């Protein structure tokens, strides 16, 4: 079968490229970032180091050559448990991938970020399996609590699908934040690190959201961009905007996890403001061109 012969070849190429051309020893970094594996070779959440290696090899090429990612402030992510709060946008979770890549290849020591994914993901074939193998977890509060208690960095997009599905005209305007993440952070005593991703919200410039079609296929939204769905698969190629990731200072809150909702809301707003500050700062530095970073 042609397919089965081609697959190892592609895998080999990707692994070699990341180590020889990009000079990243992914295998070593992944090995250092995974705390425990069982006898069958998986971590307690179903993460498979081999799949992570392959996926990271592919995304490292996107990371370095396509989106030319620049990272600031990885040292702001504390060792041990941490909750990363990011802005969500651009239809597919490239922002999450790029944050995970930055923590894996640009942070020292390397970390594997556990993103909380949408709860409709398990029904999607292949995607659901892939997510689990690379360490992403279904966004259930109990999963989040367990991961934080085991000192993993957890990535949450409090905007949820309202964020990722937002249109081009609304880019970088944070949508309503849920408060669940704050209660979990308080309960597990996890510091909160705002993570601003600049550029990702331009990768799929949504013009329209076809809600009825989305409902039909059971998706949360159906974006129409200048290229999608008109060009089919070609229309799925993201705009090569330059991506900058800015990690803000870790935030601690002196609040009980069962504090009344208005108090929690106040704390959430503080996180939202500092995230918006990082975004605005990043946008200001970037200037008008989405493809290059202007001089400071």
Partner 1 sequence: MKKKTTGESTHSPEKKTLLVTGAGGALARLATKVLATKYNLIGVDPRPLSSNHHFPGDFFQIDYHHRQMTEVFRNHKIHALIHLGRIRADTRTSANFRFEMNVIGTQKLLELSRAHGVEHLVVLSTYHVYGAHRHNHSYLTEDEPLRASQTFPELADAVELDHAASTFLWRYPEVRTTILRPVNIIGKHVKNTICQMLRGGFCPQLIGYDPLMQFIDEKDMARALILALDQPIRGVFNVAGEGVLPYSKAIQLAGALPVPVPGFVGYPAVKILASLGLGFPPHLLEYFRYQTVVADDAFRKSFGFVPKVSDPISLAALKSQRNPVVEQFLQGRQRKDSDS
Shortest distance, position 134 Cβ to partner 1, whole Å: 13
What's the token pair of residue 160?
């949820």
Q: How far apart are CA 54 and CA 267, in angstroms?
A: 39
Q: What is the contact surface with partner 1 in residues (CB under 8 A)?
A: 5, 38-42, 44-46, 48, 119-120, 122-123, 125-126, 128-129, 132-133, 137-138, 140, 142-143, 146
Shortest distance, position 146 Cβ to partner 1, whole Å: 6
Which residue lies nearer to partner 1 by CB, 31 or 119? Answer: 119
Shortest distance, position 144 Cβ to partner 1, whole Å: 9
Shortest distance, position 244 Cβ to partner 1, whole Å: 33
Task: List the beta bridge partners of residue 292.
Answer: none
CB atoms within 10 A of CB 255: 16
Shortest distance, position 167 Cβ to partner 1, whole Å: 28
Which residue lies nearer to partner 1 by CB, 122 or 220? Answer: 122
Which residue lies nearer to partner 1 by CB, 66 or 130? Answer: 130
Q: How far apart are CA 139 and CA 147, in angstroms?
A: 11
Which residue lies nearer to partner 1 by CB, 46 or 250? Answer: 46
Which residue lies nearer to partner 1 by CB, 148 or 167? Answer: 148
Which residue lies nearer to partner 1 by CB, 3 or 169? Answer: 3
């Amino acid at each position: 079968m042609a397919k089965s012969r081609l697959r190892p070849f592609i895998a080999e190429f990707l692994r070699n490229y990341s180590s020889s051309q990009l000079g990243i020893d992914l295998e070593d970094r992944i090995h250092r970032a995974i705390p425990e594996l069982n006898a069958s070779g998986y971590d307690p959440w179903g993460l498979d180091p081999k799949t992570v290696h392959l996926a990271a090899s592919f995304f490292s090429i996107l990371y370095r050559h396509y989106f030319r990612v620049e990272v600031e402030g990885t040292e702001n992510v504390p060792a041990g448990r941490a909750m990363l709060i990011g802005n969500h946008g651009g239809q597919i979770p490239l922002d999450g991938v790029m944050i995970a890549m930055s923590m894996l290849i640009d942070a020292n020591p390397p970390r594997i970020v556990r993103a909380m994914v949408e709860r409709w993901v398990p029904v999607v074939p292949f995607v659901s399996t892939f997510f689990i193998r690379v360490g992403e977890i279904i966004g259930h509060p109990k999963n989040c609590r367990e991961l934080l208690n085991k000192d993993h960095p957890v990535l949450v997009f409090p905007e949820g699908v309202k964020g990722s599905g937002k249109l081009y005209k609304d880019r970088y305007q944070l949508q309503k934040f849920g408060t669940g993440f704050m209660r979990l952070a308080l309960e597990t005593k996890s510091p909160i690190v705002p993570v601003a991703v600049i550029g990702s919200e331009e990768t799929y410039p949504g013009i329209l959201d076809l809600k009825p079609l989305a409902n039909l296929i059971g998706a949360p939204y159906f974006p129409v961009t200048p290229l999608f769905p008109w060009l089919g698969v070609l229309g799925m190629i993201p705009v090569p905007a330059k991506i900058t990731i800015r990690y803000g200072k870790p935030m601690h809150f002196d609040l009980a996890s069962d504090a009344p909702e208005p108090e929690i809301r106040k704390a959430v707003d503080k996180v939202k403001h500092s995230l918006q500050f990082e975004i605005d700062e990043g946008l200001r530095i970037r200037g008008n061109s989405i493809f290059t970073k202007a001089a400071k």
